[in-house]
Amino acid sequence: MTPSARRAFGERFWAEGVYTFGLVSAGWFALATVGAMVLYPGGSVTDKASIGYVFTRNFFSDLGMVTAHNGVGNVASMALFFTALLLVGLGLVAFFVAYPRLFAVDARARGWVRVGSLFGALAGVGFIGVACTPADLMLGAHITFVKFAFRCFPLAALCCAVAIFRAEGYPRAYGWVFVAFGVGLVAYLLLLEFGPAVTTDAGLAIQVGGQKLVVYGSIASVMLQAVGARQEARRRRRRGPDGQEGPSGRWRAHPDHGPGVPRVPASA
């Protein structure tokens, strides 16, 4: 691949492809975790002899253990869970690196989206850390990464919501999606910190149920935001910041903002 071809590929990726990557990684997480649940040998925190994965009694982290709670090797389930969480973490980092570029020319939103995207990228790093620390081998580090990710994520969601509400032309519906997502994450943080202990069957069911709701809600939110960002990127690719399309619908990147941001006509 020639240098110019690499630059063109990089520009296309950071302009639109990054959001497709986020969409695919979130979709893969949903599919891979279902597959990992099917392959999980059995056992839970309160019942080592249970058979298979019990949706209301097993945490997601159980899927990533080297050895299941019942003492059986868990390599197949662990491999699926690892790839699922690694990809979704990378997808989040990439998404939030690119996302501020959609607001690059909007001074009222720019600061908010930069702060939100910083926390969003850190949340992605946290999820990568969760993937790399099996709960049965590195429980302390695993829990630290979980709490770190879920503390960064609501800050990302709420800051990005403010950015959307302050921006010109970005669909407000996506701001409300961020608000709902952020509120759900805060509720889950409160459950983690002050909810019932997992040592009882009832407490385990509440904690597991809360985790399932927030994780799959997070995946749905990420997919919606990826679709919305991709649509917005395509709209802005067709139209320059002044609302006029460049020659043959092509725009060159603004020299101050790098690839994939709102562009100015090549004649400017």
Q: Which pLDDT does position 240 carry in this prediction?
A: 58
Q: Kindly state the tokens that stand for 186.
A: 């805060």
Going by C-beta distance under 8 Å and a sequence separation of 6 or more, which residues neighbour residue 79?
none
Map tokens 């509720």 to a residue.
Answer: 187
DSSP state of 112: H
pLDDT at res. 254: 44
The H or E element that residue 235 is part of is helix 201-238
Q: Which residues of the chain have pLDDT under 70?
A: 240-268
Helix (H, G, I), strand (E, B) or coil at 264: strand
Buried b (16+ CB within 10 A) or exposed e, 92-127: bbbbbbbbbbbbbbbeebbebbbbbbbbbbbbbbbb
Q: Which residues pair with 51 in a beta bridge?
A: 42
CA 185 – CA 188 distance, rounded (Å): 5
Residues 6+ apart with CB under 8 A from 225: 22, 95, 174, 177, 178
**How far is residue 95's CA from residue 265's CA, in Å, rounded to a whole number?**
25
Q: What is the dihedral of CA 64, 70, 72, 77, to 10 degrees?
A: -30
pLDDT tens track for 86-104: 999 999 999 999 999 999 8
Contacts of 202 (CB under 8 A, 6+ apart): 196
d(CA 50, CA 39): 14
